[in-house]
Chain A
């Protein structure tokens, strides 16, 4: 993978929301504290974390569509250069595309065809859409339907089609398979795998580790606004290969590994502990875990844990 070009490089990124407390005191709510993700061309990286860990915000920050009361820190590099607001504006929808969770993200009153073409009526965009639809075995009549008229099977293919109207080099899939049957999940995932095989970088945001392991090349484990580990999918073959105690806990929670769960819950942003966010639930937690924890290379992957060897 390393010989391929890096398309997206997020380093030590943070997002916090400004919130009004009681009275007029303003507080920053650090929803994402330490986020590091690297995606190469043709690579599919899954960011896995439970709900409330700040995963969706990651997608929004790359696209530059976070609400105005959000402040960001750290570095966001796209294609080797800093991704500024202006670049985000120019690139989103064309080079950087988002595939949303469901058809609830489509305008209920606009027909599918014109909606995917963003209202454009010229011949080039019409032909391009017809081509994309053919590729996904969607009939041309589907373009005349409204979102509520789509069947469950069409939904996903239509949503993926929206991504192909541009020339995607980075595809962000935000929980693309909520509540779907496993067969369906495999089919949807195969669409994304296909995009990666054609050379685009794919960022898959999901809470389903099992799903991620099936299609992705690398898995980034996300916990309470922090990336704790960046591991190759093959590392999830056995517990010992993994580096962070939380990744190991996730591994043990998989059905084939005995469904074991650990005590406690992911802390809420306002009640984050000092240092390692996983500290209070970790058996190996020592005094030094309450200090600054570097993100370092261990055995070919990266981990944010001082105990990892």
Chain B
């Protein structure tokens, strides 16, 4: 069942300083659904607009980012809300209770001068104003022990915790009110590999227990392989392939997806890693036609003239590439 439906999103960074106006087409015509009870991964190299997409889907658009076009329909009970047209006050009602967000660089999002308990209290008191001290303690210690975190972290200041522990506390903070939809932006960057796997396990456990939905953005295909049910691959502000994780890894269609998969190391594989030559196009003046064509080995003339649309080529498998569509058509 669809929980969140993003439609025709266009969001640009528009800055004007000292007379020079810059427009960065960070999210350029994207439609993407999030289903109930699933982990959706959004992958792509840095600068492709994936974090921006996540923010837009969470409905928080602050200057210099501007929404140009599109809706994000969120199903809350039997109502459907457009997160992008809610007033600030209306959206405050459901934020954190139903949708929450784990930000990038979440090592430093805890207030350095407040003990962790106080930060939890701030967050809970805001969204459940009549919580008593007692209920609060029960709720927080229960939640922490569910996540396998020691209750002692509550008495610590953020700087006394390790990076991995701070990350887990942030995740606990984002999930304390049992939201139905969690957005996580690069939750494992800057952590070492062992800690990373712990954090990934934590996220998976939260999702498995609460049967809610998790949208995770990361450039690390290894994490997607471990965690995601469904994956959307982004390139230069657009989604170029979207399919269940098995399909993406087993039968990638877009040449860019293939590059991403081949860049993953495999045990026992000694062949040379091919990386995609060149760099993604500038998002200030995105080229006409297929945005990947300059790095593509199989480009045709049509790739220069027309933009390939994201079309369905099989069950739950969509791709935006003329080549793949043709082959897919042959196959069917």
The answer to whether A and B interact is no
Q: B residues near A, CB below 8 A?
A: none
